[in-house]
Structure 1
Amino acid sequence: MNVTELLRLLQAEHDETAARADGLRAQIERLTTGLVETEARLAELTATRKVIDGLTRSDHEPAPAETATVYQRIVATFNEHPGRVFRVRDLYELLELPTDEPSINVTRSRLGRLVRQGLLDQPGRGRYQKRT
């Protein structure tokens, strides 16, 4: 096998691998978009259920236990306030969550993930807003 043939085979394998990588990137993008849409819908359904439970509960019946995750509550808050820009601590105060540093850092990571997924914008350092 000569150098020319070796280079031709190498280029063919490179082209096939690049095409496969492009296909996988497209698949990841479709899945990410689907995940963001599904999580947003889940947050909307959770919020709707809370409203309906609140309207149908008698005056003396205790409130149901909190069933939404913090992540779902965060997404629901941005959906309820689409034009508002939040800092992490403002969001925590609104949701009445503990403001210790480890909890805040976890939420910063969650918000960063939502920005990367395209659900939120980051108009400034440490500030987050629902993407419109």
Structure 2
Amino acid sequence: MNVSELLRLPWTEHDETATRAGNLREQIERLTTALTETEVRLAELAATRKVIDGLTPPSHATTPAETTTATVYQRIVTTFNDHPEKVFRVHDLHEHLGLPTDEPSINITRSRLGRLVRQGLPEHPGRGRYQKRT
């Protein structure tokens, strides 16, 4: 290797390093732009969530009616599974589950039992009587 080649090596390495630095600056600029856009969108979503939370009554946020209904259905099915030979009247089922025994509540359970019978879970051996399908 002669002296002129030896002096050219730092200049070549300088040019390559300068090119790499330029590419990295471009990447940083693209990433900075993407980060800024993402942070703006995140702020918009946070504001939207705050508005929706402000419009939603607290009772819906903690215990939706659908969850309560699903729980009652599950409790009914569990009762039939726990007592497969027992025939329940709706009123007895309410007492067993600790549900209110007023007429509107009883009628809702009759409707629920009708749906469950159509789905094939309990059977309806007689008027007002329900038991686990065998």
TM-score scaled by length of structure 2: 0.47
Compare the two structures and name the one with the higher helix fraction.
2
Q: Which has the higher contact order (CA 8 A, sep 6+)?
A: 1
